[in-house]
Structure 1
Amino acid sequence: MMTPKAIVDQMYAHDTFSQWLGISIEKIEQGFAQISMVVKSNMLNGFGIAHGGITYSLADSAFAFASNSQGRHAVSIETSISHTKAVNEGDTLTAVAKEDNLANRLGNYSITVTNQEKEVVALFKGTVFRKDSPWSEK
């Protein structure tokens, strides 16, 4: 069986969107992921703050990495996010994904996104469907 880090490394190598975001993988364990990124000018909306999709995408990547770190292919079936504070250009965002519940077919995760001041900027939760197919070296 592959290690959680090897699984996430394989995922990230094929994830051009997470690469475009500039995501750095900081810590991976079974059922856990911590990743970060810096908000760039091309990620801002018409109000001059980060588009909500940027925060969502960072949290979603952490969610994917944490849920797949268990060794089986896991795909999102439901997610939601609450944006709690505006995000600005130059902010460094960190997403921490933690496993709340793991069953044979479903997994539930909570993701907290903070800025460089450790202020919570978003709260994300998601559910994955766990396929039978295990991750394998390619």
Structure 2
Amino acid sequence: MTTESDEQHQAETIAAGMMGRDAYSRWLGAELVAIRPRACTLRMKVRADMLNGFGVSHGGIVFSLADSALAFASNTNGHVTVSVDNTISYPVPVELNDELIAVAEEETAGARLGFYRVTVARQDGTCVALMHATVYRTPQKHHLDQSND
């Protein structure tokens, strides 16, 4: 029988291993704030090299943070999980030095497909992006005995 504490340990172990191998999330400056089964919170600060020609954050940067939070949250189930569909809306622009917090949570799941909502907010709590995503849980299991690279 798997306990809640076993699931939490698995989520923490998988997230630590993934972050250790995820050069892109580290380049973003993404920091793992919280991880629990089927949920993740990441934080990052918008840098000058992330701005577009209009002087605001490139949408791809915000998408990337949301996608990284999705990846960490959806992989906590123990199976290698990949996204198959994402839609994102940007209600307000993101400025230089904004601190972004992405919260990914599973809304519902079946045996192979999971459905997630990712909210990205800036430091004042204003929602700057909302992602809906579908993920596919592969049969491949995460190897929990592997340490970070």
Q: Structure 1-normalised TM-score?
A: 0.97
Deviations 1:81-133 (A, max 9, x none): 00011000100000000101111110000000000000000000111110111
Q: 1:70, 1:99 → 2: CA distance?
A: 11
Determine the structure 1 residue equivalent to 2:78: 71
Query: CA separation in 2, counterparts of 1:123 and 1:15?
Result: 23
Counterpart amino acid of 1:125? H
Aligned position for 2:103: 96
Structure 2 stretches lacking a partner, 5+ long: 1-5
Residue 70 of structure 1, CA deviation:
1.1
CA distance in 1, matches of 2:12, 2:22: 15
**1:51 offset after TM fit, Å?**
0.1
CA distance in 2 between counterparts of 1:84 and 1:106 reads: 28
Match of 1:129 in 2: 136
* Runs ≥4 residues deviating over 2 A: none
1:5 is aligned to 12
2:76 partner letter: S
* Correspondence 1:38 to 2:60: no
Identity of aligned residues (%): 41
Q: What is the one-letter code of the residue matched to 2:15?
A: V
Normalized against structure 2, the TM-score is what?
0.90
Amino acid at match of 1:20: W
SS in 1 for 2:72: helix
Q: Which amino acid aligns with 2:52?
A: N
In structure 2, the residue corresponding to 1:50 is in which secondary structure? coil
User: How many pairs were matched up?
Assistant: 138
Residue type at the aligned position of 1:63: L
Letter paired with 2:30: I
Name the Cα RMSD after superposition: 1.0
Q: Which runs of 5+ in 1 are unaligned?
A: none
1:82 corresponds to 2:89? yes
Q: Which residue of 1 aligns with 2:36?
A: 29
Partner of 2:3: none
How many Å separate the matches in 2 of 1:38 and 1:3?
28
